Amino acid sequence: MTNEELMENAKAATRFSYAPYSNFKVGAALLTEDGELYTGCNIENASYGATNCAERTAIFKAVSEGKKKITKIAVAAGDGSTAYPCGICLQVMQEFMPEGTILLEEHGIIVSYSLKELLPKGFTL
């Protein structure tokens, strides 16, 4: 799958975003080591703190089906702005895609980052 196709899947995943509190819809699409596609959206909560970001939804879907090696994840905001992954999502990426790539759209252009660029000193045990 091309980067463009993965980003299209991330945008499509915003369709199921549950964001009644922020109205900020986010979608994510990832590829596992064996080429499987998983998507996710942000799921908010009245408590705010129980909100799950789109990236973690997609990652947890993959891991919960036995896919623990992720190579690439695309993230898209429904309003076309750039959704930089939050610190918690970066730490979850550290666990399941330490050598992985993050695709973001900046001013309509897909930009590729390594996790190491966005989280240079992620926590590991």
Q: Which residues form the interface with ligand THU (CB under 6 A)?
A: 19, 22, 24, 26, 42, 44, 51, 53-55, 75, 83, 85-86
CB of 120 to ligand THU, least distance (A): 18
Residue 31 contacts residue 71 (beta carbons within 8 Å): yes
Q: Which is nearer to ligand THU, 63 or 104 (CB)?
A: 104
CB of 87 to ligand THU, least distance (A): 10
Cα separation, 59 vs 17, in Å, equals: 15
CB of 91 to ligand THU, least distance (A): 13
Chain centroid to Cα 110, Å, comes to: 14
- Set 4, 33, 36, 55: catalytic member: 55
Q: Which is nearer to ligand THU, 20 or 66 (CB)?
A: 20
3-state secondary structure of 88: helix
Q: Token digits for 54?
A: 């789109």
